[in-house]
Amino acid sequence: MHIKARPLRNLILTFTPMPFLELNGVCKGFGGPEVLTDVNLAIERGEFVAIVGYSGSGKTTLISLIAGLQKPDRGTVKLNDLEITGPGPDRGVVFQNYSLLPWLTVAENIALAVDQVFPNHSAEKRTAIVDKAIATVNLTPAREKLPRQLSGGMRQRVSVARALAMDPQILLLDEPLSALDALTRSTLQDEFERIWEADKKTVVLITNDVDEALLLADRIIPLTPGPGATLGESVAVTLARPRDRKALNHDPEFKRLRALVTNQLLGFGAKRRATITKKLILPDILPEDLDVPRTSRKRPLRPHEIKQEEVAAAT
């Protein structure tokens, strides 16, 4: 029995797929202290991974490294076992601030990407790809509009459509929804889920919203706060798909996962928390009565007349 088991284990090892995207001991600083220290990450093909962290913890730096817009100081970033040396259309990036070219219409913005990625396709075929991408994000009526004529949510859809149209091997979403209002955000989250269900692309989503990560991702990896940020223990999200946001709120597993991830993040935060308390001095100011005619207003208070209230505040 013992002897027989060994080849079986070897077989399993051989069939274990190589990680599709692999970061090994990646460090990155911008001259100063390191923003990211020893980041290790392995993502399988077709996986939807969310990286959750505080703002300023180096999330955007991480995605820039994967996109190839930045080079790591140490360590390697590999896609498909090939080291990433620069940006390229095999990694579709959706930036936080949309990054649409304001002088091009929706269709032209996407066509710029499509023409670049599929130079050998016929013009009709490229137009068809553009149209399909626009339809995927439900923007067909806005096809000929300029970005400034669109709302923030619509602009971000264009940005997503542009990334999808390039048919990248991996989609990198850099806080794509954080600039949007809550309602638009949830609509777009549902749309992301639908789009991902349709073609199961590998996705790395960077976000600061734990609920968003739980709704969309297969796996959540918390990022410790910077400087010197690194990835924490990953949490597998085992919730069944399609996930319904209303039902999820009452799902005990959802609650458990949310508590887990939140606690991890808060745990990092606690380490960072300083233990000083300082006194906040609030000036004693009464709201001005605007109905009183301006001429009858009293002179401004002299410094010694200001009553002060002391509040002990913990930071």
Partner 1 sequence: MNKFKLDWLILPLLGIAVILGLWALFSATWAKDLPSPLKTWESSKPYIVEPFAKRGEMDQGILRFTWYSLTLVAQGYALALIIGTPIGFFLGLSKGFTKTFDPIIQILRPVSPLAWLPLGLVLFLGTGKEAGTYGALFTIAICAMWPTVLNTAVGVRAVPQDYLNVGRVLKLSRWKTLTKILIPATLPYMFTGFRLSLGIAWLVIVAAEMLTGRPGVGGFLWQEYNALIYEHIILSIIVIGLVGFVLDRLMSLLEQRFKTA
Per DSSP bridges, beta strands 74-79 and 235-236 are: unpaired
Binders of partner 1 among residues 15 to 74 (CB under 8 A) are 67, 69
Would you say 43 and 21 are in contact if contact means Cβ atoms under 8 Å apart? yes
Would you say 146 and 98 are in contact if contact means Cβ atoms under 8 Å apart? no
To partner 1, the closest distance from the beta carbon of 126 in angstroms equals 14
Segment contacting partner 1 by CB under 8 A, of 32-40, 73-81, 97-105, 211-219 = 97-105
Contacts for 12-19 with beta carbons within 8 Å, 24 or more apart?
A: 17/44, 17/45, 18/81, 19/43, 19/44
User: Mask of contacts with partner 1, 122-141, x by CB under 8 A?
Assistant: --------------------
Residue from 23, 51, 93, 221 in contact with partner 1 (CB under 8 A): 93
Q: What b/e readout covers 204-229, taking b as 16+ CB neighbours within 10 angstroms?
A: bbbbbbbbbbbbbbbbbbbbbbbebb
To partner 1, the closest distance from the beta carbon of 261 in angstroms equals 30
Strand partners, 231: 223
Separation of alpha carbons 63 and 177, rounded Å: 15
Segment contacting partner 1 by CB under 8 A, of 72-80, 110-118, 290-298, 306-314 = 110-118
Q: Which is nearer to partner 1, 97 or 230 (CB)?
A: 97
Residue from 50, 117, 213, 217 in contact with partner 1 (CB under 8 A): 117
Amino acid, res. 225: P
Distances (CA, A) of 239 to 32, 43, 259, 264: 41, 19, 15, 19
Segment contacting partner 1 by CB under 8 A, of 23-31, 35-43, 109-117, 281-289 = 109-117
To partner 1, the closest distance from the beta carbon of 305 in angstroms equals 43
DSSP 85: -
Output the six-digit token pair for 283: 């000036």
Neighbours of 232 (CB within 10 A): 19
User: Mask of contacts with partner 1, 158-187, x by CB under 8 A?
Assistant: --------x---------------------
Q: Which is nearer to partner 1, 116 or 249 (CB)?
A: 116
142 part of the interface to partner 1, by CB under 8 A: no
To partner 1, the closest distance from the beta carbon of 298 in angstroms equals 34
> Computed over its alpha carbons, how large is the radius of gyration of the chain?
25
To partner 1, the closest distance from the beta carbon of 235 in angstroms equals 30
Residues that bind partner 1 (CB under 8 A): 67, 69, 86-89, 91-93, 95, 97, 99, 101-103, 112-113, 116-117, 146-148, 166
